[in-house]
Amino acid sequence: MDAILNSEIFILTLTFLAYFVAQSIQRKTKTIFLNPVLVAIILIIGFLLLFDIDFTAYHEGSRMIEFLLKPAIVALGVPLYQQLGKIKKQAIPIIISQLVGCIAGIVSVVLIAKALGAPKEIIFSLAPKSVTTPIAMEVSKTLGGIPPLTASVVILFGIVGSIFGYEIMKLTRIKSSISQGISMGTAAHVLGASKSMQISGNFGALSSIGLIVNGILTAILAPYIIDFLDIWMTF
């Protein structure tokens, strides 16, 4: 029995089934809090605890999904290409907004973490919270953070952003599709882009811009921003 539960085929089936069930639950309930990723995580954790399956075994069995993560991100370039003409017309506002979003995202989380007394390893792990997991883990490693913690935080922020992002923009009366789409990709990376894709291909393309550009800017600027902040505050 243990051999079956720890086999790669079973773990892959479990993962896909958990996400399918989570999607079905959200479709039937139409409740934004029942985010498919969040529900799937809860279902999988519950199953692992119930049958005493070691996480290391689950991680080894799900390597194929991890391998497919990067090409899945690249696939977001398809709607981006489809909306290329519209994007070119807004190139300057998009680049400026992305630069501001990148800096604000890093600085805000660093200052808040520092104010709450977090040690420097935690602060460095939180800094790249708004970019997709592969980029965030590499940035965290470069800064001296804890990559596994960074991955967890990225997923958490993605879930929160995908649940509340559009609702917050409604409250703040942000009606521009460009602003909404790019903001979701910038703040909630892949999960924000996935949520946007459910609305329309246009929103998905705009979120892809936020995801891609913010990822590039964060990878380049995060070390310099951290160094700049270190001049004014002692980590």
Residue type, 37: V
Region 195-211 average pLDDT = 82
CA 41 from centroid of its chain's CA atoms: 14
C-alpha to C-alpha distance for 84 and 86, rounded to whole angstroms? 5
Q: What is the pLDDT of residue 79?
A: 66
Region 178-190 average pLDDT = 87
10 Å Cβ neighbour count for 91? 9
Q: What is the pLDDT of residue 125?
A: 92
C-alpha to C-alpha distance for 175 and 167, rounded to whole angstroms? 11
Q: What's the mean pLDDT when you consider all of the chain?
A: 84
Helix axes 36-50, 8-29, angle to 10 degrees: 130
- Domain locations along the chain: 2-74, 77-232
pLDDT at 148 over 90: no
Q: Which two tokens stand for residue 14?
A: 């479990």
C-alpha to C-alpha distance for 77 and 66, rounded to whole angstroms? 19
The pLDDT-based confidence of 232 (bands split at 50, 70, 90) is low
Q: What is the pLDDT of residue 205?
A: 80
What predicted TM-score, i.e. pTM, was given to this entire model? 0.76
User: 18-32: per-residue pLDDT in tens?
Assistant: 999 998 998 888 787
φ, ψ dihedrals at 83, nearest 5°: -105, 20
pLDDT at 189 over 80: yes
Q: Which two tokens stand for residue 21?
A: 């069930």
pLDDT at 177 over 90: no
Cβ atoms of 136 and 222 closer than 8 Å:
no
User: 30-85: per-residue pLDDT in tens?
Assistant: 787 788 888 998 999 999 898 888 888 887 777 777 777 767 667 766 766 776 77
> Highest mean pLDDT range out of 66-70, 103-107, 210-214?
103-107
pLDDT at 120 over 80: yes
Cβ atoms of 212 and 94 closer than 8 Å:
no
C-alpha to C-alpha distance for 53 and 149, rounded to whole angstroms? 21
pLDDT at 235 over 60: no
C-alpha to C-alpha distance for 80 and 85, rounded to whole angstroms? 10
Q: What is the pLDDT of residue 20?
A: 92
To 5 degrees, how large is the angle CA 164–CA 165–CA 169? 110
pLDDT at 159 over 80: yes
The dihedral sign for the CA sequence 10, 190, 219, 223 = negative
Provide long-range contacts, Cβ within 8 A and 24+ apart, for 171-174. none
pLDDT at 186 over 60: yes
SS3 99: helix
H helix runs in 51-90, sequence order: 55-61, 63-74, 77-82, 84-89
C-alpha to C-alpha distance for 158 and 38, rounded to whole angstroms? 10
pLDDT at 199 over 70: yes
